[in-house]
Amino acid sequence: MENVIIIGTGPAGYTAAIYSARADLSPLILTGSQPGGQLTTTTDVENFPGFPEGIMGPELMVKMQQQAERFGARVENGVEVTDVIKNDDGSFTVKAKQVFGAETMEWQSKTVIIASGASARYLGLPGEMDLVKSGAGLTACATCDGAFYRDVPVCVIGGGDSAAEEATFLTKFASKVYLIHRREELRASKIMAQRALDNPKIEPVWNSQVVEYLLDDNGRIRGVKLESTVDGSHSELELEGVFMAIGHTPNSGFLSDELVDKDESGYVLQVPGRTATKTPGLYSAGDISDTVYRQGITAAGQGCAAALEAEHYLAGLEG
């Protein structure tokens, strides 16, 4: 019987592990299919406190794992959780399978912290994830990467509030921001849409979708190929950065409705002001529940809070 099982290994999961391990709870971390989470697809991270010169995303995640392991956290690599079950005695059964393989396994735990995150949606074009991982001009976080695109043209793909907000944010850095949308008007709220469209640096590109990333000799994005959603014609747009803003998918499919409440998009709902879910002993932290901030540092803060709540819950069990 484990004291704490942590599902996921981004900033939320590793921070929860650090705090749980320092409390002598010997947490077990299940990595999932993307060890380290979304930050492993990011190159330079310059907004995480403590690294004045910045740090590579994968390196930051490795350091967090090493810190957790230093205090006694254990990491189970290559396993993806398929189910979490609340047992009659109040404990949990966590079922998993190998990411590459057919073996299944399960653990028992007194508490569980869900830090499985959310995955940014991309277009599914050939070579897309290679561009993300290599930092070659494709990203899904304007707050994280906008400063790398000073005085160059960029585009934002999307039509909702996030797209309008990110396009407006990018005008602080980019020389021009193309807002590419499949329709002829934004889906964003009226105030967000108007704010974006009134900005002289933002140029909407209506009824268009990106069908190809155009690369220079160094493998970096130099533009995009567009296809009209009206007549199917093609055109090219020269730019140096593509920012995806078509939403995120929370990695919550393995959680039943009996165990947690979710919003219409699948994000796990927390007890207001806490990281607890509706099930005692079950906590969520980071992007699995965060629909607003989605930053490494806010995820880490929630990981800390979840670990403290789990520790308090365990102390209550001991009487």
What are the residue numbers of the active site? 141, 144-145
SS (H, E, C) the chain: CEEEEEECCCHHHHHHHHHHHHCCCCCEEECCCCCCHHHHHCCEECCCCCCCCCEEHHHHHHHHHHHHHHCCCEEECCEEEEEEEECCCCCEEEEEEECCCCCEEEEEEEEEEECCCEEECCCCCCCHHHHHHHCCCEECCHHHHHHHHCCCEEEEECCCHHHHHHHHHHCCCCCEEEEECCCCCCCCCHHHHHHHHCCCCEEEECCEEEEEEEECCCCCEEEEEEEECCCCCEEEEECCEEEECCCEEECCCCCCCCCCCECCCCCECCCCCCCECCCCCEEECHHHCCCCCCCHHHHHHHHHHHHHHHHHHHHHHHC
Alpha carbon distance 5, 146 (integer Å):
35
Spacing of C-alpha 162 from chain mean position = 14
Residues 128 and 25: beta-carbon distance below 8 Å: no
